[in-house]
Amino acid sequence: MKKLLLIGIVLLISVALPISASATQYENKPYHWGFKKSKNHQPASIAQEPFAPLIPKYESFFIGNIEEKELYLTFDNGYENGYTEKVLDVLLEKKVPAAFFVTGHYLKDQPHLVKRMVKEGHTVGNHSWHHPDLTTVSDARLKEELDKVKSEYEALTGKKDMTYLRPPRGIFSERTLALSKQLGYTNVFWSLAYKDWETDNQKGWKYAYDKIMQQVHPGAIMLLHSVSKDNAEALGKVIDDLRKQGYTFKSLDALLFDDPMQNAR
């Protein structure tokens, strides 16, 4: 009888804790995403970073097939600054897929833009509800941050396809990678970016264009922020000129499910 009671208690605990009770075994040392930028259009690298082994271990990725001239456009959308509609217009005109990582604020504040993203075939990923440093929150809070975004997205769009996560602020740990993986997410980092999010320090479309074109490389996952006026104005020419160089633009689904070379170079 005692044995049956004990089994019952264990089963109740397992049901109540959707995240593995062994989560505490993972190190929670915070890492800020960093990489060696591309030079001469060679692939960016994280080989020199202490977190490099964690990326393939938890089936995360930051770069695609470096043998192919394929690119993956991603945008982080924490709030709206009036330029996402222009970005979507360009993507529609050029027939380019992109991924938009949204916060809870963005879902509540810009539901029509999220619906448009889905309608026009883009991927919508999770950027957490409040945009916290996930290494500083409890397991339960981490789950809540991600679940609330997914639930709001599903209620808004009727879609149940939110499987990609971009850690807020680019901060992560082995623990956050492990827990988010248990929740069904693939962490998506990046291999091309520049300081584009300062809305009071925009420098013109040519600056954005040059920063992107200088770093581009085969397999690049490009991180841009749609709060940037420069990005919105440069995007069309960026796409046209990269296509002239032989690049093609693909979705994250094509990257993940075509089983490309995902490595930590």
Catalytic residues, by residue number, are: 76, 225
Q: Compute the C-alpha angle 160/162/166, nearest 5°.
A: 170
Distance (Å, whole) CA 160 – CA 74: 20
SS3 187: strand
Which is it for strands 98-102 and 70-77: parallel, antiparallel or unpaired? parallel
Distance (Å, whole) CA 167 – CA 61: 12
SS3 75: strand
Mutual orientation of helices 84-94 and 229-244 as an angle, nearest 10°?
20
179-216 burial, b for 16+ CB within 10 Å, e for fewer? bbbbbebbbbbbbbbbebbeeeebeebeebbebbeebb
Distance (Å, whole) CA 191 – CA 224: 11
Q: Compute the C-alpha angle 101/104/27, nearest 5°.
A: 70
What is the residue type of 48? Q
Distance (Å, whole) CA 106 – CA 60: 24
SS3 192: strand
